[in-house]
Every structure is written in structure tokens, then in C-alpha cells.
Amino acid sequence: MNIFSHYKYVFQIQFLRNAGFLIFMILIQILISIGIVIGFTYLIPTPDTNTILFLATGAPTIILIFTGLVILPQQVGTAKSDGYMEFLRTLPVNRAVILGADTTIWLIITVPGIVISSLVAHLLFSPGYDISWTVVPALLMIALTSIGVGYGFSYLLSPTTSLALSQVIVFGALMFSPVNFPMDRLPEWLQTLHEILPIYSMAEIMRASLAASTFEATLANYINLLVWCVLGFGGAIFILNKK
């Protein structure tokens, strides 16, 4: 079989195994994204247009972070514990094909939440979207980085450790990462940390794509995501190839 046939075969296996869970996750992501757009406004007595725009452009980023850095590591941990990961390693296919097929599934399940949360924000608040042509490449880059990093640490660490780390990430992303609010509200040491970690760059690129006339992403943001994406997928493939 060629690479495409291998990819199709692994995709079918992964999809059929996780179909019920994936449908459930799509619904959860829709609820979370709408909750961010609407629910967070209740924390602010009189939210202005800029605040609403931060929430509206932050919700898609949170969905991608939640998918790649929280749910995916939990699924990998379960697959390790069940022995399913060892089964995948016995398949006569390139290890990159396994990651590619799995990544496609995770990309697909993020689309409904992103689309619906953006539509809800537009209809309820009219936050001032100005969608750039970069929106699709930006979404793919953010998603691939999030998924790649999730694969990297979930393959490297034990299921228990990766589960604990994913919980820290989701808490940090919601409360202490400049996704739904400006970076300058954080203490300087945390700002410096976010310049290195990928979450801030994800948020900046997403904002610049959905509201191009208000926000702007720098070249450093794109380079940051590229580095983390390569490290994540590269590390995962290296570990999968180890005997």
C-alpha cells in the first residue's frame, strides 16, 4: 500500500474507535466556546466593544488549546493504559501516518465550535470582526501547534503526569494567559514567560486573523508557533519510532 492507503486505513481505525467520544467532544466544545463569549461578559459590569472583541477572538483559541493540550493528552494516556498505543505501533505503516490521521480527526472536531462561537458573538454583540485572508492558515497553524505540543508531552510523559499537566494547562489558559484579555494586565515575569510559551502567540495570531483592523501579529509570533509545532510532532514521532 502507498502512503495515502496507509493514511486512509489508520484514519478509519481511529475514527471508528472514537466516533461516539468525538461527537460528545464537539458538543462540549460548542458549549465551552459559547460560554466564554457570553458567560465571561457577566464578570464585567459594562463590557465595552474591545472587551467583547477579546472574548470573541479568544474563544476559538481556547477551543484549539482545549483540544490539543487537554483532551488529546488524556486520550493518549488512555490509549497507553489500554495497550492501544502498542497496537498502533505494530501496524506496518509509517509512524508519521499515524500522527497525520489522528491529527486530521482532531482538526475536524474543532471546526463546529469555532464557527458557532464566532456566529453567536457576531449576532449577539457585533464585536467588530474584520476577517483577514490569513484566517485559515492561522487556524491550521494554531491547531497544529496545539496538537503537536499535546502529542509531544503525552507521548513523553506517563499517563498520570500528562493528565496532571493538561489540567494545569487548561486552568492556566483560562485564568493566567492573555487569550481573553491584554498581555499588559499580567505581571512582568509572567509576560516574559508567555513570550516563550506558545499560548500568547496563538492568541495574537488568532486575533490578527479575525480582527485584522484592530490587532496585529508579529513575525516572532509565527516563528514561536513553528518552533513549538516542530518540537511537538518531532518528539512524538521520535518516541513512536523507538523500540
Write the pLDDT tens digit of every residue in 96-133. 888 888 899 999 989 898 998 889 888 888 888 999 99
Q: What is the pLDDT of residue 201?
A: 95
Q: What is the pLDDT of residue 188?
A: 94
Number of domains in the chain: 1
Q: What is the pLDDT of residue 1?
A: 57
Q: Could you give the CA distance from residue 84 to residue 54 in angstroms, rounded to a whole number?
A: 40
Q: Which of 76, 70, 73, 66 is nearest to 110 (CA)?
A: 66
DSSP reduced 3-state for 130: strand
DSSP designation for 157: S
Cβ 109 vs Cβ 187: under 8 Å: no
Q: What is the pLDDT of residue 52?
A: 87
- pTM for the model: 0.90
DSSP reduced 3-state for 131: coil
Q: What is the pLDDT of residue 210?
A: 93
Q: Could you give the CA distance from residue 227 to residue 175 in angstroms, rounded to a whole number?
A: 25
Q: What is the pLDDT of residue 238?
A: 85
Length of the chain in residues, anyone?
243
Q: What is the pLDDT of residue 30?
A: 87
User: Mind listing the pLDDT tens digit of every residue in the chain (243 residues)?
Assistant: 578 888 888 888 888 888 888 888 888 888 888 888 888 888 777 778 888 888 889 989 999 999 999 888 888 888 888 888 888 878 888 878 888 888 999 999 898 989 988 898 888 888 889 999 999 999 999 999 999 999 889 888 888 898 888 888 888 887 888 998 999 999 999 999 999 999 999 999 999 999 999 999 999 999 999 999 999 888 888 887 775
Supply the range of the domain harboring residue 28: 3-241
Beta strands in the chain (DSSP E): none
Q: Could you give the CA distance from residue 114 to residue 66 in angstroms, rounded to a whole number?
A: 12
